[in-house]
């Protein structure tokens, strides 16, 4: 289980497809995804479902959340671009509201990379 959790943590780190879900001060473990929809005739259509599922804090998971965006708009449809930021916003609010202690690596170490969710990110997943 720890190996899978560690792999899911890397998704929200720089270079990962879900870096836009990063929550300052917290380690999160997520999986993003994108599915193409099928029309009534059984053929793929140009409509999508974007999702991000995960747990936090990654060091000792207390909360799980799944965000599903049906038919994303504005030309973006990848989970990392559409549902990951929503996941980060909701989960961040939950962690702060529930007074969960931050578990990220202290500043000056890797935390700058962990918490900088909008620079050098990949939207695709």
Domain hosting residue 95, numbered range = 2-100
Residue 54 belongs to a domain with what CATH number? 3.30.450.330
Judge whether 111 lies within some domain: no
Judge whether 74 lies within some domain: yes
Judge whether 109 lies within some domain: no
Judge whether 119 lies within some domain: no
Judge whether 64 lies within some domain: yes
Provide the whole-model pTM. Answer: 0.83
Judge whether 22 lies within some domain: yes
- Using CA atoms, how far residue 65 sits from 44, 46, 77, 116, in Å, is 28, 27, 19, 21
On the 0-12 / 13-18 / 19+ scale of CB atoms within 10 A, 114 is buried
Number of domains in the chain: 1
Show pLDDT as tens, one digit a residue, over the chain (125 residues). Answer: 889 999 999 999 999 999 999 999 999 999 999 999 999 999 999 999 999 999 999 999 999 999 999 999 989 999 999 999 999 999 999 999 999 999 997 655 444 444 434 434 445 55
């Amino acid at each position: 289980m720890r190996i899978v959790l560690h792999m899911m943590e890397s998704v929200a780190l720089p270079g990962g497809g879900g870096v836009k879900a990063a929550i300052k001060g917290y380690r999160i473990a997520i999986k993003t995804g994108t599915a193409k929809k099928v029309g009534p005739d059984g053929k793929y259509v140009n409509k999508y479902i974007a999702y991000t599922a995960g747990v936090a804090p990654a060091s000792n998971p207390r909360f799980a959340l799944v965000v599903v965006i049906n038919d994303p708009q504005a030309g973006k449809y990848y989970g990392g671009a559409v549902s990951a930021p929503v996941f980060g916003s909701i989960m961040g609010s939950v962690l702060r509201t529930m007074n969960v202690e931050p578990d990220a690596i202290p500043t000056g170490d890797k935390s700058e990379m962990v918490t900088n969710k909008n620079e050098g990110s990949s939207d695709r997943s």
